[in-house]
Amino acid sequence: MSIVMKSGEVPRYNASERVTHWVVAITFVLLAASGLAFFHPAFWFLTSLLGGGVWSRILHPIIGLVMFAFFALMAVRYWKDNVIKSYDREWSKRLSDVINNRDNNLPEIDKYNIGQKQLFWTMIITMVLLLVSGLVLWRDMVFAFPVTVVRISAVVHALASFVLILGIVVHIYSAIFWVKGSMRAMTRGTVTHAWAKHHHPLWYRRVTGGAKK
């Protein structure tokens, strides 16, 4: 279905999508900070973000559940848009054209590029691992899991957070510095016609019905 655009902008995320994303982003920062503080004393100062060591230990798992719940909403919404297609594989083989901005040589891509899609699936896997291992570590006092299960959970929790933190660093770098003009999609909710046509031509045609502007 095409969208009628009077403002010269292309809608990309509505208000509820943006609120969901920023709840995930804020809870992620609080979790990464408190989690790093539990991981190594060098990061202990970060506990002050949540009101000290005791409050960090109490709040970290609860904030974790909030992040997972809101992320699950995003995962359901964007699942279909992140399925990897044959043109994505072709696009990723021509990285030198991507980096050198020779877009005419590239196959047209839809709402997300393959890098965004791979990161999306990395987020899904790490989020599920963090939830399951986190629940074991949190509820150990109640259910008294075998010690091996608790130890494996501790390692899985640390590894999954490490991968997710690295992934989010890449996500933030590309949103702010690499693909200029992306941030407004998650702040104002819209992108320019030029951005949409340049970075996501298939998506652009789908939402505008091929509008020229």
Active-site positions read 171
Query: At 187, which amino acid appears?
Result: T
In the shown chain, the binding pattern of residues 123 to 162 toward ligand HEM, with x for contact by CB under 6 A and - for none, equals x---------------------------------------
Largest CA distance in the chain: 63
CB of 98 or CB of 175, closer to ligand HEM? 175
Query: How is 115-126 classified by DSSP, letter by letter?
Result: HHHHHHHHHHHH
Alpha-carbon distance of 170 to 167, in angstroms, equals 5
Least distance in Å: CB of 193 to ligand HEM? 15
The residue within the footprint of ligand HEM, chosen from 66, 72, 183, 202 (CB under 6 A), is: 183
The residue within the footprint of ligand HEM, chosen from 10, 31, 50, 185 (CB under 6 A), is: 185
Alpha-carbon distance of 64 to 160, in angstroms, equals 13
Asked if 168 is part of the footprint of ligand HEM (rule: CB under 6 A), the reply reads yes
Alpha-carbon distance of 65 to 140, in angstroms, equals 16
Asked if 197 is part of the footprint of ligand HEM (rule: CB under 6 A), the reply reads no
Q: Which two structure tokens, joined as six digits, stand for 169?
A: 């660093």
Q: Which two structure tokens, joined as six digits, stand for 181?
A: 């003009």
Q: What are phi and psi of 163, to 5 degrees?
A: -65, -45
Least distance in Å: CB of 10 to ligand HEM? 11
Least distance in Å: CB of 142 to ligand HEM? 28
Residue/partner pairs of 94-97 with CB below 8 Å, 24 or more apart: none
Asked if 116 is part of the footprint of ligand HEM (rule: CB under 6 A), the reply reads yes
Least distance in Å: CB of 71 to ligand HEM? 6
DSSP 46: G
The residue within the footprint of ligand HEM, chosen from 30, 31, 33, 74 (CB under 6 A), is: 74
- Paired residues of 190 in beta bridges: 11
Asked if 121 is part of the footprint of ligand HEM (rule: CB under 6 A), the reply reads no
- Paired residues of 9 in beta bridges: 192
3-state secondary structure of 191: strand
Residues from 9 through 68 that contact ligand HEM (CB under 6 A): 12, 21, 24-25, 28
For ligand HEM, the binding residues (CB under 6 A) are 12, 21, 24-25, 28, 71, 74, 78, 82, 112, 116, 119-120, 123, 168, 171-172, 175, 182-183, 185-186
